[in-house]
Structure 1
């Protein structure tokens, strides 16, 4: 079945095979959080142990888990983190500016850091505004388009919630525009913390609308 990125809580995972990297997406928890399991060779990495440790551990399976990366400090993105780390022994990484608010962190990352998964690496992109330490993770597919995991910083239809704080909104939109849209091509596929995926090309025409809208 072709990958669409459409998942529902309690429903089947969506699997995208990129050849040397496989992306498995599931929706978990009351807020329909997306969690992403990446596999390259014999190694696996989880992005956001959001909730429902049983579902996530079943997804991880006997292959084990090397690393969990938490995209930001909001609790709906790490409710299952402690249980997943305890069960797998995985390293737990988050940006240094959010780490103190996340219950289990064994290492911190900053802008430009590379996080290994098998023969590949994910580049850390710091996007300030939704939280001080929000990050996106970029996989440069050597045989195709870029794949970008944006947490709650970028969604189809706009940037993440900044709760009416004008300074945070401008910071987030500026970072998203400079570090994502100005740098990466339209074909770049992005995977948000909730809901459906999109591409930068699909969203690019609306950047000015988002800025005028102010949220």
Structure 2
């Protein structure tokens, strides 16, 4: 299923593709739907988290030039189709190096490029800035897109709270700090495009930070 988000700046747009598959970690496997985000115009695009179905991702991009594939983190539901997607789209894969421990559980080769906090990726006249937001995983990274009033948070922040931290290489105090210092500092009208489920806004989530801390997840 593919749906175009309504937030646009000129010809630049955000599109969402929902793909379905499994997520495996720590000996468990779950069925899961993932959001694949495409940012660009009619000529070029950046793909964020091409999950599960590489051909569906390639079909959604169409004949546009893919500038880069950005991975918010290294959990297998987000990366297992990433290498095939990169080959179909002829685009470099970018991942934060602190998530290599997760990447290496799936692939023998390295990602094409490392993401560092503050890196800027340009597409169709707009810029996405990498924000290192660890906690869900050590290298979890969000991508801020001020021109369209958006941020892509992967599994760091969802509608209703932080991503899960009850698995290997995750930490609840760390994700809370990432959300408080990096994400909730964004303008309240910023639309949060998540790795799974519905979008939300910084303003809708910000008042609930203490509730999340009190419940511990």
TM-score of Structure 1 vs Structure 2, range by shorter chain = 0.7 to 0.9
Q: 1:2-21 maps to which residues of 2 (within 5 A)?
A: 11-16=1-6, 17-21=8-12
The number of residues matched between the two structures is: 200
Q: Which residue of 2 aligns with 1:96?
A: 97
Q: If each structure's strand is expressed as a fraction of its own residues, which one has the higher value?
A: 2
- Report the RMSD for the aligned CA atoms in angstroms: 1.8
Please tell me whether residue 179 in structure 1 is matched to residue 169 in structure 2.
no
- Note if contact 1:40-1:120 (Cα within 8 Å) is conserved in structure 2: no
Tell me by how many angstroms 1:41 deviates.
5.9
CA contact (8 A) 1:130 1:160 kept: yes
TM-score (norm. length: structure 1): 0.87
Q: Distance in 1 between matches of 2:13 and 2:4?
A: 11
Of 130, 135, 141, 2:136 maps to 130
Deviations 1:132-186 (A, max 9, x none): 0000000011xxx620000000001110100078x810111011111111x2121
Please list, as runs of the form range in 1=range in 2, the aligned pairs for 1:94-173 lying within 5 A after superposition: 94-99=95-100, 101-102=102-103, 103=107, 105-141=111-147, 146-163=149-166, 168-173=171-176
Q: After alignment, is 20-29 or 153-162 more displaced?
A: 20-29
TM-score norm. by structure 2 comes to 0.86
Assess if the C-alpha contact under 8 Å between 2:42 and 2:64 holds in 1: no
Q: Once superposed, which parts of structure 1, at least 4 consecutive aligned residues long, lie more than 3 Å away? A: none
How many angstroms does 1:12 deviate by?
Answer: 3.6
C-alpha distance in 2 between matches for 1:99 and 1:88: 22
Structure 1: stretches of 5+ with no match in the other structure: 1-10
